């Protein structure tokens, strides 16, 4: 929820601030000075992924089922909740996590501990996530992610050097567009781009 009061140096002087403090999570969180005051606003935290997660982590220190529906719908907060609070695979959040490349890669790495097929379509769409997934989870070439990797000078170079171990023509166009990586690639593989 947008917090219009953040643009004012003394928002408590503005009309409607006190009423908003019970409706805008960021204001309510700031104004609730104790855990007891935060517990009184559970209904508010349960509506928003970030605040439900913060309440579970910082106030009660354990999983909090009333906030899980909100958390499960957001890839980043669902990943953090599974990692920090549940500490094992968390099926309610997996649909959201599987749709976000970086969250899916991190979930496979930190929670599942092995390749995670439900997140591979999203992972394959991001050069950085695809490279890290191939290197850290698959341990060898990963064709589903190669199209994205080939479009990034940095990741194409790293993929050629660390995963393939030889010249990789699909990534050379991107590499040739970067003076830094062209030089590194030419030096590494003794070729001219």
Distance, CA of 17 to CA of 49 (rounded, Å)? 23
What would the mean pLDDT of 58-75 be, rounded to a whole number?
A: 97
Please compute the mean of the pLDDT values over residues 175-180 and round it to a whole number.
Answer: 96
Q: Give me Rg for the CA atoms of the chain.
A: 22
Of 15, 13, 17, which is closest to residue 3 (Cα–Cα)?
17
pTM of the model: 0.85
Cα 3-43-47 angle, rounded to 5 deg: 55
Tokens of 22: 């019970």
pLDDT band, residue 79 (cuts 50/70/90): very high
Contacts 24+ apart (CB under 8 A), 93-98: 94/118, 96/72, 98/122
Note the pLDDT of residue 26.
81
C-beta atoms surrounding 139 within 10 Å:
10
Whether residue 4 has pLDDT greater than 80: no
- Nearest-CA neighbor of 95 among 107, 83, 86? 107
Rounded to an integer, what distance in angstroms lies between the CA atom of residue 22 and that of residue 43? 10
CA quadruple 12, 14, 15, 20: dihedral sign: negative
Confidence at 25, pLDDT banded by 50, 70, 90:
confident
Helix pair 91-98, 65-72: axis angle to 10 deg: 20
Lowest mean pLDDT among 26-35, 136-145, 157-166: 26-35
Residue 92 binned pLDDT confidence (cut-offs 50, 70, 90): very high
Confidence band, pLDDT 50/70/90 cuts, at residue 20:
low
Residue 16's pLDDT is what? 57
Confidence check: pLDDT of 31 > 60: yes
Rounded Cα distance between 153 and 173, Å, is: 8
User: Does pLDDT of 116 surpass 70?
Assistant: yes
- The lowest-confidence range among 15-19, 93-97, 166-170, 180-184 is 15-19
pLDDT higher than 60, residue 3? no
- Phi, psi of 141, deg, nearest 5: -55, 145
State the chain's mean pLDDT as an integer.
91
């Amino acid at each position: 929820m947008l917090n219009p009061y953040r643009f004012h140096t003394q928002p408590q002087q503005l009309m409607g601030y006190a009423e908003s403090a019970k409706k805008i999570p960021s204001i309510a969180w700031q104004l609730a000075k104790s855990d007891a005051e935060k517990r009184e606003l559970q209904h508010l935290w349960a509506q928003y992924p970030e605040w439900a997660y913060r309440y579970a982590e910082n106030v009660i220190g354990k999983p909090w089922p009333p906030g899980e529906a909100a958390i499960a719908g957001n890839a980043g907060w669902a990943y953090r909740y599974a990692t920090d609070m549940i500490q094992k695979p968390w099926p309610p959040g997996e649909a959201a996590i599987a749709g976000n490349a970086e969250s899916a890669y991190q979930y496979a790495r930190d929670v599942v501990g092995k390749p995670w097929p439900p997140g591979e379509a999203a992972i394959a769409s991001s050069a950085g996530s695809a490279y890290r997934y191939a290197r850290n989870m698959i341990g060898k070439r990963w064709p589903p992610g190669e199209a994205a990797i080939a479009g990034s000078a940095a990741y194409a170079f790293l993929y050629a050097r660390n995963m393939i171990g030889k010249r990789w023509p699909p990534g050379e166009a991107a590499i040739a567009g970067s003076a830094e990586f062209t030089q590194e690639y030419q030096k590494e593989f003794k070729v001219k781009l």
